[in-house]
Amino acid sequence: MTRRTTWANRMGTVVAALFLEACRGVQSALAPQGIDAERVAGLFWVMTIGAALILILVMFVTALALFGPESWRRWLSRDGIIVAGGIVFPVTTLTALLGYGFVLTSIGDSRPGGESIKIAVVGERWWWRVIYRDSAGRRIESANELRIPVGRPVEIELTSADVIHSFWAPKLAGKLDMIPGRKNVLTLMAKEAGVSRGQCAEYCGGAHALMAFYVVALPQPEFERWLAHEAEPASAPPTPQALAGMTLFAASGCGACHAIRGTPAAGAIGPDLTHVGGRLSLAAATLPNDEAAFARWIKDNQHIKPGNLMPPYGIFSDSELAAVSNYLASLR
């Protein structure tokens, strides 16, 4: 008996901890940081609490009908009560909720914060191509990470290069599908600075679960500084090792698929690596961003993310691999 209680207690603690962690986490719709996610969270709480109250009311009335005093039971069986509780109440409640939902979903078009900025995100196999345009109209390509200014509406143009993906950054907004041959636009706005995580929310093939991203909300001036830096070509290799890595990168055909602006590498098939070392993660939020992870990915990417389009590069010796990794990590 004691043992069972302890076990139940433990399980209870674990489950409670999971819930709390999920609420606090970088990918929780219950801890919103954007106005759209706040509305989603508000809708969730209204629905959940409303449903709970109605459930309690119905259970109470059921109990009363079964075990209550004779006079109460007779009152409950009147035609008026049946009509009120069985028809009028559900129709008004559901209509009100529907109206609330309509109002919530249509608010998105008129929002404060001035002119919106546009970011194009393309769902790939299995990563996110992210394309910014700065005020001069220059196209700035990045991958697997969105940086957005706080307090300004951001229009994210969602397309797909292959199959249906779904863009979902739970702390900022609801999810929206990325459909081949079609452009969907998701507008969101961050209320405070911070990092949150997003995820592909539509099964898109074997490594679907490894297709995630980070969203970094920055204060407006910091965002502008960052975007200006992102638009720059890659920095020159800072060390002899990185220089060796750069030479290997060029000679081994990496530039056929990857672009590093400012070098001959101009491939358009894989992620743009111009500032890859400055991102929060590698391989679409699958690996940490450090030299060891670069080395693992280059050599062993088919085990990390099976079926991804990059060939495994086993041609490098250990020192060559270290040099290439060092070079890529230096691209901040």
Q: Please tell me the total number of residues recorded for the chain in this structure.
A: 332
In angstroms, give the least distance from the CB of 210 to other proteins: 18
Indicate the burial class of 105 (C-beta count within 10 angstroms; 0-12, 13-18, 19 or more).
Answer: middle
Question: If binding is defined by CB under 8 A, does position 25 make contact with other proteins?
Answer: no
Token pair for 270: 């894989």
The count of chain residues that interact with other proteins, using the rule CB under 8 A, is: 19
> Which lies closer to other proteins via its Cβ, residue 122 or residue 176?
122
- Contacting residue, 11, 53, 84, 269, with other proteins by CB under 8 A: 269
Candidates 50-58, 65-73, 180-188, 265-273; binding stretch for other proteins (CB under 8 A) = 265-273
> Do 165 and 209 meet the contact criterion of CB atoms below 8 Å apart?
no
Residue 314 half-sphere exposure, CB side, CA atoms within 13 Å?
4
Interacting span for other proteins (CB under 8 A) from 18-26, 40-48, 187-195, 311-319: 311-319
Contacts of 107 (CB under 8 A, 6+ apart): 39
* Of 255, 278, 291, 304, the one binding other proteins by CB under 8 A: 255
Per CB under 8 A, the segment of 64-72, 83-91, 226-234, 309-317 that binds other proteins is: 309-317
Q: Residue 132: is it exposed, middle or buried by C-beta count within 10 angstroms (0-12/13-18/19+)? A: buried
Q: Which is nearer to other proteins, 253 or 278 (CB)?
A: 253
Among 250, 280, 281, 304, binds other proteins (CB under 8 A): 250
Q: What is the CB neighbour count within 10 angstroms for residue 294?
A: 24
> Under the criterion CB under 8 A, does residue 99 sit at the interface with other proteins?
no
* Complex with other proteins: residue 187 or 252, whichever CB lies closer: 252
**Cβ atoms < 10 Å from Cβ of 58:** 11
Say how far apart CA 52 and CA 8 lie, in whole Å. Answer: 25
267 binds other proteins (CB under 8 A): yes
Supply the DSSP string of 208-235, one letter for each residue. GGG-EEEEEEE-HHHHHHHHHHHHSPPP
Cα–chain center distance at 153: 17
In the complex, the smallest distance separating the C-beta of residue 290 from other proteins, rounded to whole angstroms, is 24
Q: Which of residues 155-174 bind other proteins (CB under 8 A)?
A: 161
The token pair at 116 is: 């919106």
CA–CA separation, 302 and 299 (whole Å): 8
Task: Give the shortest CB-218-to-other proteins separation in angstroms.
Answer: 31
Among 131, 243, 280, 309, contact with other proteins (rule: CB under 8 A): 309
Q: Which stretch binds other proteins (CB under 8 A): 32-40, 73-81, 97-105, 261-269?
A: 261-269
| Residue number, 172 or 310, with CB nearest to other proteins | 310
Q: How far is the CB of 242 from other proteins (least distance, A)?
A: 18
Distance CA(193)–CA(319), nearest Å, equals 40
> Residue 54 interacts with other proteins (CB under 8 A)?
no
Question: Kind of pairing, strands 145-149 and 212-218?
Answer: parallel
Q: How far is the CB of 311 from other proteins (least distance, A)?
A: 4
Q: Which is nearer to other proteins, 134 or 141 (CB)?
A: 141
The residues binding other proteins (CB under 8 A) are: 161, 248, 250-253, 255-257, 267-269, 309-315
